Amino acid sequence: MTRPSNTGDTPAPDGAPVPDVDVVCLGESMVTFLPRLPGRLADVPSFDRAIGGAESNVACTLARTGHTTRWISRVGTDGFGDHLLAAIADCGVDVGHVRRDPLRPTGVYFRTAGDRATDTHEVAYYRAGSAASAMTAAELDQAALHAGRILHLSGITAALSADCLGLLRELTTRRPGRPLVSFDVNYRPGLWRDPAQARVLLELARGADLVFVGDDEARDAWGLDGPRALREALPEAHTVVVKQGRAGATVFRRTREPGGLAREPGDDDTATFVPALRVDLVAATGAGDAFAAGFLSATLRGLPDRTRLRYGHLWAAAALTVPGDLATPPSRPYADRLAALDDPAWERLHLAPGWTDADPEDDPDADPDSDTSGRRADEEVPTQ
């Protein structure tokens, strides 16, 4: 029997080690404080505690729908570190390879309730010198890092410290036998003192197999505009997902493996666009992480590109309709039914808070007899 390929569409040879988990996620998570009332941080009298971190968000979201995931990071030996480990483990994520640092604190941040895109939104980070910023390639368990079908990273880690940048450079270096490397650019202007330094994110993305990037962040960080320009800038990546805000998202995917060598962009590519869903927005925080988790979930199941994008949009809609960073996505049967809608029905969908709790049988557009997955959740399939 063959196992799923970690680097392409063809199976790996017999005798290759079977991955321990579906997805390994590496990156910093912080304790988040969300205001109980609207207003400026200076005026809000009390906060609710939650967790936030791009990579742990992906791990938690995938775990909540039955995938096996592992989160790797560093946290302090403080109470905030205890809380992060307990909260992420409660989602079903393996946290056994998270290191505790007695000398450095766990990062925390405060934010207002408003949309991050508005001028009134405030975020106050207290992460300088955090335990996670001390991560290095030398001190991490390489076997644990490479034990998944997918290794998911983000550009946020690269901005934390020189050591963290070195770690990401190591993990995005192409080597035989590595897992499929998924990289979410996640450009955060506030983390880069010199905007020109953000060009390093393009270098890291070129070392990944699957890249998630927003067209807005690409313009700001790299001066690139439009999905096709991004594909041309990332010819090495097998799959490039360009998020286009409220318009939707486009995925470019190579249909033929080039033997790991750079090639002319556009050769043997497929391009698929799926419009975004209409939602009643509660908060935009965490939507990009949820989109990545949805796309990865469908990728692990070997579903078509159109369905992968629809899964991304559905899971993003779950995050957009809750106030915190983490949302419980729709059940797999419900997501499959919605992803199978014809184009007019998809474009008619309008999702409000609480929609993920709906009974799939009550959905007027769903076909209760349809099952578009085509595979069992545990069936071994290629991951690209």
Catalytic positions: 289
Name residues whose C-beta falls within 8 Å of residue 288's C-beta, 6 or more positions apart in sequence: 54, 184, 186, 212, 214, 243, 316
- Could you tell me if 294 and 329 are in contact, meaning their C-beta atoms sit under 8 angstroms apart? yes
Q: What is the DSSP track for 353-374?
A: TTGGGS-GGG-TT--TT-----
**DSSP structure class, residue 3:** B
Per the structure block, which two tokens stand in for 286? 């965490």
CA-derived radius of gyration, the chain: 20
**DSSP structure class, residue 228:** H
Q: Which residues pair with 48 in a beta bridge?
A: 34
Give backbone dihedrals phi and psi of 8, rounded to 5 degrees, phi first.
-170, -165
Burial letters for 315-349: b for 16+ Cβ neighbours within 10 Å, e otherwise? bbbbbbbbebbbbbbbbeebbbbbbbbeeeebeeb
Give backbone dihedrals phi and psi of 250, rounded to 5 degrees, phi first.
-120, 135
Residue 352 CB neighbours (<10 A): 12
What does the alpha-carbon distance between residue 66 and residue 360 come to, in Å, rounded to a whole number?
18
- Helix, strand, coil % in the chain, rounded to nearest 5: 35, 20, 45
- Could you tell me if 290 and 315 are in contact, meaning their C-beta atoms sit under 8 angstroms apart? yes
What does the alpha-carbon distance between residue 223 and residue 217 come to, in Å, rounded to a whole number?
9
**DSSP structure class, residue 173:** S
Per the structure block, which two tokens stand in for 247? 């318009």
Using CA atoms, how far residue 76 sits from 2, 83, 97, 155, 324, in Å, is 41, 11, 14, 22, 23
